[in-house]
Amino acid sequence: MPMTSLRASAAALILCAALPALAQTAPAKPVAKTKAAAKPAPAKKAPPPPPEPVLVDADEAQLAAAERAYLGDYACEFKETVQIEKHPKVAGYINVAWKKQVFTMKPVLSSTGALRLEDVTGRTLMIQIANKSMLLDTKIGQRLIDDCVHPEQIKLIEAAKAAKINDPEAEAAEAARSGLGITPTAAETPAAPPVAAKPAKPAKAK
């Protein structure tokens, strides 16, 4: 019994001596929270298309000019293309498509014979002449695309070449042709000066 009490007292002393050391032990670090997954950036919404311009009813002159426009695909410089179609909703207007842009045009037949397709917003202008068409930016005064040729214009070019071969005078007419594909009429073409008659030789005396 004395030995058992002695052992119990020794165990109590060891436990009391260990308590201060246990109290000084550093506390465990808290578990770091995992970072929340980054939220994806919201997709940018595409800007809404511009409102369609208000188109007034076309008069007879505009309707007639619209019939002069060559519809379909044009092969242009730098291997680009232009498409021209009638406006799907309003008669007398033309849609010109180029590089994912569509311009609504009002056709106007000029006094020189060229067909002008005037952008109803005032931004662009397309000119159709005998041998080609071109699209202009009227705001900066530069050509957007040039040397656009429709199959009908190719036919006119080939016909003009054939006329030169078959008729020598056609080459002179082509040289007098204006840049807008208008050939001067006979009244506008200056007549050739008359050839002076040679004086008659005096008769020899017999």
Instruction: Kindly state whether residue 130 falls inside one of the protein's structural domains.
Output: yes
Number of domains in the chain: 1
Dist CA 76 CA 181 (whole Å): 19
Dist CA 134 CA 125 (whole Å): 8
Structural domain harbouring 82: 60-149
Instruction: Kindly state whether residue 54 falls inside one of the protein's structural domains.
Output: no
Asked whether the predicted pLDDT for residue 139 surpasses 90, the reply is: yes
Alpha helix ranges (H) inside the chain: 2-24, 60-67, 151-166, 168-176
Q: What is the CATH number of the domain that holds 127?
A: 2.40.128
Instruction: Kindly state whether residue 195 falls inside one of the protein's structural domains.
Output: no
Mean pLDDT of 116-125: 97
Instruction: Kindly state whether residue 105 falls inside one of the protein's structural domains.
Output: yes
Instruction: Kindly state whether residue 124 falls inside one of the protein's structural domains.
Output: yes
Dist CA 162 CA 170 (whole Å): 9
Instruction: Kindly state whether residue 45 falls inside one of the protein's structural domains.
Output: no
Dist CA 18 CA 138 (whole Å): 95
For residue range 151-168, list pLDDT tens digits in order: 999 999 999 888 888 776
For residue range 72-112, list pLDDT tens digits in order: 999 999 999 999 999 999 999 999 999 999 999 999 999 99
Are the CB atoms for 84 and 66 separated by under 8 Å? Answer: no
Alpha helix ranges (H) inside 72-131: none
Instruction: Kindly state whether residue 166 falls inside one of the protein's structural domains.
Output: no
Instruction: Kindly state whether residue 117 falls inside one of the protein's structural domains.
Output: yes
